[in-house]
């Protein structure tokens, strides 16, 4: 399979770079000898005919456009003709970026391999434009309008589209069409791997006989109907539904959700030459990923929308939404680049010579000067350095130091594709071993989530784990019901220490001893115990401060011991509503306590005597070794000042955290979109 670096599908088309430039009249540049005043006058004369939709013959405003002579010499290398941030004009002043061509009478544009523009008005008509200085011609069959919407260019020059008669095909550059399957009308088509793929409803279909017959290859996707399929330069497939972005690493055999579009409609996918992948989301700003879809960021320009995306040969990115905007940094920031006379946006295509053709809501068709003169792409997708921290906040790091010199270093990395549904529990140990429980079995990873293997007890899946800790010598201990287990190989295999000893909640004392709320202290890894008191009943979580103070909680009560667990006193804690309960305790290095409940996060600075609410939108809490506090709710918020102020740290994961653990100052996170591992939080 040949994979093009820049995707072209749907309205953009799979464009051959060898398109005959004689088929297009080149737009008149400022180097044609005409004066600046003449240029302005000609541009103004175009406005009167811009709204015409043409007659039944398809001659929509003949002669309404003027050709540019020489786009190759349309730059003198300087911004000296009152240009707005870009060099586009040689000697003429002022420089003209856009010219109108004949109106199309269409709602969407499509570029064929032969260089013809097709304009579709859905089920009303189809028009063709072979030269930019020519007129659009209606496509007719027996005197009647052809009602086909072109969707995909085939590998041999054929064009596939959908109309009232079903799936159709043209073998003569859109002049005539033949229905090949009257019972199949997909929402999109994509040619790759010598096959034709289509989305119909929430299912993906494949045809190996040029669309005559179809077989389902995947279905049951969430987020509404499927709208687009693309493959990137690494062979990774991306599939868009109205609300979700899905990814396949095995050529469509299995799929995993990697991003939500947050309530808006997914519309477009495009890849830049540095591997940055962007997804248009209709009425909201596009998403971008620098790591093949593992993590996603939203553009900083909140007023930019992306009903369509296009990139030129130098990786300048263009978005069509309320107008036309351009990005030089892979979608992080945007600059308006449309014409003042454009009214909204309907469709656009990028020509092989890097000119952009735009259709607006008034049926005006604009063609630009070559966009390569409009800016310089700033790469985002360079490989990450071996050490992802240089001690300073760098480009694209959005409030955290995570990437050395690499731009837009992802703070979150999506882990290997695993069954991440029905997750009951996750854990992470100081040596970096990760664990999760998905009801079927307990899995662990010793390579930071690159691969997973089941944790076993005598060749069988390890029973459900309620607590897991790692001793100073690397030994791992886990509780399950009344049993206590041990592993000396980073959780791969386990043995039973005691199958009937009920230890309850366990924790490590600062001096390295193992503590059990029900059995006391153990200095030999749980083999023998020294009972120190009768424990409070109903304890679900235990934590020590660095000074040795012990705190524990049940679902609706909180206790502490200031004498090593010998005696306990009940604390007033946090008042709870009838439907609320305590979830998690965490101790900061300064001795302050953070108590998470289903009603929010609370802080105590007086050893648990009183608590103050510091976050009302979270129900889980983590604290790293530097004292940074993380509140987990609908997203992740980080506080650098003991919970006084908060900032979002989700950075495009786009999903609600369902379970989280912290070890070696890295957050291991499970969401509906999969498992994620953060960079070191102390560098944020």
Question: Tell me: the pLDDT tens digits for 166-215?
Answer: 999 999 999 999 999 999 999 899 998 889 999 999 899 999 999 999 99
Q: What is the Cα–Cα distance from 593 to 611, expressed in whole angstroms?
A: 9
Are the C-beta atoms of 560 and 579 separated by less than 8 Å?
Answer: no
Mean pLDDT of 141-146: 86
At 77 the pLDDT is 56
- The residue that leads in pLDDT, 250 or 58, is 250
CA-based angle 613:616:618, to the nearest 5?
115
CATH class of 21-373: mainly beta
Confidence of residue 301 (pLDDT cuts 50, 70, 90): low
At 54 the pLDDT is 26
* Least confident window among 243-252, 383-392, 524-533, 623-632: 383-392
At 30 the pLDDT is 37
Are the C-beta atoms of 402 and 395 separated by less than 8 Å?
Answer: no
| Torsion sign across C-alpha atoms 39, 41, 42, 47 | positive
Angstrom CA distances, 136 to 125, 289, 358, 361, stand at 12, 39, 15, 17
Angstrom CA distances, 397 to 275, 284, 391, 451, 553, stand at 18, 22, 12, 27, 38
Q: What is the Cα–Cα distance from 684 to 392, expressed in whole angstroms?
A: 9
User: Does position 408 have pLDDT exceeding 50, yes or no?
Assistant: no
Q: What is the Cα–Cα distance from 253 to 250, expressed in whole angstroms?
A: 6
Mean pLDDT of 618-627: 93
Task: Give the pair of three-digit tokens for residue 489.
Answer: 């190989």
**Mean pLDDT estimate for the chain:** 78
Q: What is the 3-state secondary structure (H, E, C) of 530-579?
A: ECCCCCCCCCCEEEECCCCCEEEECCCCEEEECCCCCCCEEECCCCCCCC
Are the C-beta atoms of 170 and 162 separated by less than 8 Å?
Answer: no
Mean pLDDT of 484-504: 92
Task: Give the pair of three-digit tokens for residue 384.
Answer: 């990450």
Q: Is the peptide bond before 94 cis (omega within 30 degrees of 0)?
A: yes
Q: Which helix (H) or strand (E) holds 36?
A: helix 36-46
Are the C-beta atoms of 396 and 372 separated by less than 8 Å?
Answer: no
CA-based angle 300:302:305, to the nearest 5?
110
Phi-psi region at 448: left, alpha or beta (left = phi > 0; alpha = psi -120 to 50): left
Q: What is the Cα–Cα distance from 378 to 288, expressed in whole angstroms?
A: 14
* Least confident window among 19-23, 117-121, 308-312: 19-23
Report percent pLDDT > 90 for the chain.
35
At 45 the pLDDT is 23
- The residue that leads in pLDDT, 82 or 598, is 598
Nearest to 160 by CA among 130, 129, 185: 185
Angstrom CA distances, 498 to 310, 318, 485, stand at 63, 64, 7
* Least confident window among 202-206, 262-266, 484-488: 262-266
Phi, psi of 381 (to 5 degrees): -100, 20
Listed in order, strand segments (DSSP E) in 264-359 are 268-271, 277-281, 284-289, 297-298, 308-311, 317-320, 324-327, 335-336, 347-350, 356-359
User: Does position 480 have pLDDT exceeding 60, yes or no?
Assistant: yes
Q: What is the Cα–Cα distance from 412 to 297, expressed in whole angstroms?
A: 10
User: Does position 223 have pLDDT exceeding 60, yes or no?
Assistant: yes
Mean pLDDT of 526-538: 87
Mean pLDDT of 122-138: 86
Q: Report the first-to-last Cα separation within the chain, whole angstroms.
A: 42
* Least confident window among 23-27, 328-332, 605-609: 23-27
User: Does position 626 have pLDDT exceeding 70, yes or no?
Assistant: yes
Are the C-beta atoms of 581 and 599 separated by less than 8 Å?
Answer: no
The side-by-side arrangement of strands in the sheet containing 317-320 is: 308-311, 317-320, 324-327, 335-336
Q: What is the Cα–Cα distance from 330 to 629, expressed in whole angstroms?
A: 32
Phi, psi of 5 (to 5 degrees): -65, -40
Task: Give the pair of three-digit tokens for residue 306.
Answer: 């992306």
* Least confident window among 209-213, 414-418, 656-660: 414-418
Q: What is the Cα–Cα distance from 82 to 93, expressed in whole angstroms?
A: 7
Confidence of residue 383 (pLDDT cuts 50, 70, 90): very low
- The residue that leads in pLDDT, 403 or 10, is 403
Residue-wise pLDDT tens digits, 428-471: 999 999 999 887 788 999 988 888 999 998 888 888 888 899 99
Residue-wise pLDDT tens digits, 389-398: 444 444 444 4
Listed in order, strand segments (DSSP E) in 83-142 are 98-101, 108-111, 117-120, 126-129, 137-138, 140-141
Residue 293, C-beta contacts closer than 8 angstroms, at least 6 positions apart: 236, 238, 245, 247, 258, 259, 277, 414
| Torsion sign across C-alpha atoms 319, 323, 326, 332 | negative
Q: What b/e readout covers 22-36, taking b as 16+ CB neighbours within 10 angstroms?
A: eebbbbbbbbeebeb
Which of 11-15, 123-127, 680-684 tops mean pLDDT? 123-127
Mean pLDDT of 673-678: 81
Q: What is the Cα–Cα distance from 24 to 20, expressed in whole angstroms?
A: 8
Residue-wise pLDDT tens digits, 563-577: 999 999 999 878 888
Q: What is the Cα–Cα distance from 297 to 287, expressed in whole angstroms?
A: 5
Which of 42-56, 132-146, 161-175 tops mean pLDDT? 161-175
| Torsion sign across C-alpha atoms 210, 214, 215, 219 | positive
Task: Give the pair of three-digit tokens for residue 551.
Answer: 């705190």
Could you say which DSSP state residue 397 is in?
-
Supply the pTM of this predicted model. 0.60
Residue-wise pLDDT tens digits, 347-381: 999 999 899 999 998 889 999 888 887 777 777 65
User: Does position 524 have pLDDT exceeding 90, yes or no?
Assistant: yes
Could you say which DSSP state residue 500 is in?
S
At 650 the pLDDT is 59
């Amino acid at each position: 399979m040949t994979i093009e670096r820049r995707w072209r599908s749907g309205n953009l088309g799979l464009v051959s770079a060898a398109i005959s430039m004689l088929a297009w009249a080149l737009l008149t540049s400022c180097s044609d000898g005409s004066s600046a005043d003449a240029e302005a006058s000609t541009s103004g004369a175009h406005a009167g005919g811009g709204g015409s939709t043409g007659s039944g013959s398809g001659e929509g405003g003949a002669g309404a456009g003027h050709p540019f002579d020489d786009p190759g010499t349309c730059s003198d290398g300087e911004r000296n003709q009152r240009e707005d941030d870009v060099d586009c004009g040689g000697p003429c002043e002022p420089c003209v970026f856009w010219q109108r061509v004949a109106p199309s009478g269409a709602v969407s544009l499509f570029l064929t391999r032969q260089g013809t523009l097709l304009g579709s008005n859905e089920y009303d008509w189809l028009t063709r434009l072979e030269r930019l200085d020519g007129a659009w011609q209606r496509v007719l069959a027996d005197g009647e309008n052809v009602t086909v919407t072109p969707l995909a260019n085939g590998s041999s020059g054929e064009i596939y589209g959908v109309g009232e008669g079903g799936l159709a095909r043209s073998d003569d550059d859109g002049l005539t069409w033949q229905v090949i399957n009257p019972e199949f009308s997909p929402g999109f088509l994509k040619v790759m791997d010598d096959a034709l793929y289509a989305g119909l409803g929430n299912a993906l279909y494949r045809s190996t006989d040029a669309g005559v017959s179809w077989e389902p290859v995947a279905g049951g996707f969430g987020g509404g109907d499927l709208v687009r399929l693309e493959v990137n330069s690494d062979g990774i497939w991306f599939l868009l539904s109205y609300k979700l972005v899905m990814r396949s690493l095995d050529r469509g055999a299995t799929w995993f959700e990697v991003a939500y579009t947050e309530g808006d409609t997914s519309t477009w996918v495009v890849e830049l030459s540095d591997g940055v992948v962007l997804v248009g989301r209709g009425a909201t700003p596009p998403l971008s990923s620098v790591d093949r879809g593992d993590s996603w960021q939203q553009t900083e320009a909140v007023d930019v929308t992306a009903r369509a995306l296009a990139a030129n040969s130098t990786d300048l990115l263009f978005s069509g939404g309320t107008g036309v905007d351009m990005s030089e940094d892979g979608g992080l920031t945007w600059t308006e680049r449309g014409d003042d006379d454009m009214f909204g946006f309907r469709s656009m295509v990028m020509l092989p010579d890097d000119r952009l053709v735009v259709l607006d809501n008034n049926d005006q068709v604009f063609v630009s000067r070559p966009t390569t003169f409009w800016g310089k792409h700033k790469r985002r997708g360079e490989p990450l350095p071996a050490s992802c921290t240089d001690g300073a906040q760098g480009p694209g790091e959005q409030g955290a130091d995570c990437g050395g010199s690499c731009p837009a270093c992802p703070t979150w990395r999506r882990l290997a594709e695993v069954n991440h549904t029905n997750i009951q529990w996750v854990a992470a140990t100081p040596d970096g071993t990760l664990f999760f429980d998905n009801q079927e079995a307990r899995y662990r990873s010793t390579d930071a989530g690159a691969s997973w293997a089941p944790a076993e007890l005598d060749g069988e899946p390890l029973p459900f784990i309620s607590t897991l800790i790692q001793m100073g010598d690397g030994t791992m201990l886990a509780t399950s019901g009344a049993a206590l287990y041990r592993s000396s190989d980073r959780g791969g295999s386990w043995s039973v220490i005691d199958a009937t000893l009920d230890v309850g909640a366990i924790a490590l004392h600062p001096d390295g001893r193992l503590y059990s709320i029900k059995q006391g202290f153990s200095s030999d890894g749980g083999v023998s115990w020294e009972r120190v008191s009768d424990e409070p009943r109903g304890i679900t979580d235990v934590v020590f401060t660095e000074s040795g103070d012990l705190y524990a909680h049940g679902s609706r009560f909180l206790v502490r011991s200031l004498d090593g667990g010998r005696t306990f006193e009940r604390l007033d804690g946090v008042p709870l509503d009838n439907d609320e309960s305590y979830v998690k305790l965490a101790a900061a290095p300064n001795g302050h306590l953070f108590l998470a409940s289903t009603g929010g996060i609370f802080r105590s600075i007086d050893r648990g005597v009183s608590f103050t609410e510091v976050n009302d939108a979270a129900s889980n809490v983590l604290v790293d070794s530097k004292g940074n506090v993380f509140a987990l709710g609908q997203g992740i918020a980080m506080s650098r000042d003991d919970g006084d102020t908060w900032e979002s740290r989700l950075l495009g994961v786009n999903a609600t955290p369902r379970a989280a653990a912290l070890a070696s100052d890295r957050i291991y996170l499970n969401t509906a979109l999969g498992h994620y591992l953060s960079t070191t939080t102390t560098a944020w």
